[in-house]
Amino acid sequence: MIKIFPRVPTSLNKSTLLGPTLTFTKYLHREGTLSLSSPSFLHLLVGSSMAGAEGFVEADNAEAIITRIEHKSRKIETLLKQYKPVEALKTALEGTYAIIGDERCKSAHWLVVHRAIMAIKDVDGMLSSLDPEYYDILMKYLYRGLATGDRPTCDQCLRIHEKLTEKAGLGCILRFLTDTVNTV
Nearest to 105 by CA among 51, 38, 58, 52: 58
Evaluate whether residue 7 is within a structural domain: no
Evaluate whether residue 28 is within a structural domain: yes
Evaluate whether residue 72 is within a structural domain: yes
Residue 168: per-residue pLDDT: 96
pLDDT over 90 (residue 165): yes
Question: Average pLDDT, stretch 141-148?
Answer: 96
Q: Residue 152 sits in a domain of what CATH number?
A: 1.25.40.190
Tally: H helices and E strands in the chain: 10, 0
Residue 6: per-residue pLDDT: 36
Question: Average pLDDT, stretch 98-110?
Answer: 82
Give the contacts of 85 (CB within 8 A, at least 6 positions apart).
79, 116, 119, 120, 121, 126
Evaluate whether residue 2 is within a structural domain: no
| Interval 1-14: pLDDT, tens | 333 333 333 343 33
Whole-prediction pTM value? 0.68
Residue 130: per-residue pLDDT: 94
Evaluate whether residue 6 is within a structural domain: no
Evaluate whether residue 1 is within a structural domain: no
**How many structural domains are present in the chain?**
1
Strands (E), 49-97: none
| Interval 30-60: pLDDT, tens | 333 334 444 444 433 443 333 333 344 455 6
| Interval 15-34: pLDDT, tens | 333 333 333 333 333 333 33
Evaluate whether residue 23 is within a structural domain: yes
Residue 59: per-residue pLDDT: 57
12-26, 62-76, 135-149: which has the minimum mean pLDDT?
12-26
Domain of residue 39, residue span: 14-178
Evaluate whether residue 116 is within a structural domain: yes
pLDDT over 60 (residue 135): yes
